Amino acid sequence: MSSNGASQRQGAEAKTRPPVHVAIIMDGNGRWAQKRLLSRILGHEKGSEAVRMAARTCREQGIAFLTLYAFSTENWQRPKAEVDALMRLLRRFLKTELPEMLQNNIRLNVIGRIEKLPMDVRQALDQAISATQGNTALQLNLALSYGGRDEITRAAQALAAEVQAGSLRPEDISEERLSSHLDTRGIPDPDLLIRTGGDMRISNFLLWQLAYSEIFVTPTLWPDFDREQFLKILDEFQTRERRFGRV
């Protein structure tokens, strides 16, 4: 990671391009609720509002892709009431946000093990994905029942099956070919990863795709993450020098 010291804050002329793809680990809903002696579920509810803000801000800033870590493969191990509440929020989000997605030219997409989600959530997702598939302003990727290791494992299985079938030689497995079997095929790697809630971890999110992403961790808990802070990070991103391993 490059430094972001004062020497690089040289005003608008020194700025690099804005990110094309922003990925966010939305952490801290539980702590936000606990601090207020509320149930964790209310924290997730408040977190849904920040999801709306993030999508609107990306749309308005001309960012082409936003990927949100909404539910991990590990999250299935949370208490049933919390998992059910998250599924309920997702259903509600899909219902209430579809008109806005249609109006604002937002395309919905999902990554992860969708087949593990309850049938009615899958149906709502399928419906919103097909209704918005022609939209071109912002692609909103929801990572649901998603794990980076799981995604890479599935890609490895698909490649192994091609080798077994005789249609692929092991030496022809390239980074590009492996990428083409990931859920994110066709989507550029994130330029910027934001994690709220202060933890310095990737937590099994986009393990392959984050190889060269700039990482910003903010102590702000996700429900408190607002437009102003988001814009500030987007601005700061443009002062970082990205070298992709080169000098």
Binding site for ligand FPP (CB under 6 A): 26-31, 40, 44, 47-48, 51, 70, 75, 86, 89-90, 93, 142, 197, 222
For 141, the token pair is: 């990727």
Total number of residues shown for the chain:
247
All residues at 6 or more sequence positions from 241 whose CB lies less than 8 Å from its CB, including other chains: 2, 8, 16
Rounded distance between C-alpha atoms, residue 107 and residue 113, angstroms: 19
Please identify, using beta-carbon distances, which residue of 42 and 173 lies nearer to ligand FPP. Answer: 42
Rounded distance between C-alpha atoms, residue 231 and residue 42, angstroms: 26
Q: What is the number of the residue whose Cβ is closest to ligand FPP?
A: 30
Please identify, using beta-carbon distances, which residue of 184 and 239 lies nearer to ligand FPP. Answer: 184
Question: How many CB atoms neighbour CB 230 within 10 A?
Answer: 21
Contact 194, 218 (CB under 8 A): yes
Query: Taken in order 187, 194, 236, 141, is the CA torsion positive or negative?
Result: positive
Q: Are strands 192-196 and 65-72 parallel, antiparallel or unpaired?
A: unpaired
Please identify, using beta-carbon distances, which residue of 94 and 187 lies nearer to ligand FPP. Answer: 94
Out of 27, 141, 183, 191, the active site residue is 27
Out of 75, 104, 135, 204, the active site residue is 75
Q: Tell me how far, at minimum, the Cβ of 241 lies from ligand FPP, in Å.
A: 31
The helix (H) or strand (E) run that includes residue 146 is strand 138-146
Please identify, using beta-carbon distances, which residue of 21 and 44 lies nearer to ligand FPP. Answer: 44
What is the DSSP secondary-structure string of 11-41?
A: -GGG--PPPSEEEEE---HHHHHHHTT--HH
Q: Tell me how far, at minimum, the Cβ of 49 lies from ligand FPP, in Å.
A: 9
Please identify, using beta-carbon distances, which residue of 86 and 155 lies nearer to ligand FPP. Answer: 86
Rounded distance between C-alpha atoms, residue 117 and residue 238, angstroms: 37
Look up 135 and say whether it is catalytic.
no
Q: Tell me how far, at minimum, the Cβ of 61 lies from ligand FPP, in Å.
A: 19
The helix (H) or strand (E) run that includes residue 65 is strand 65-72
Rounded distance between C-alpha atoms, residue 204 and residue 23, angstroms: 13
Q: Tell me how far, at minimum, the Cβ of 100 lies from ligand FPP, in Å.
A: 13
Q: Tell me how far, at minimum, the Cβ of 213 lies from ligand FPP, in Å.
A: 19
Look up 4 and say whether it is catalytic.
no
| Catalytic residue annotation | 27, 75
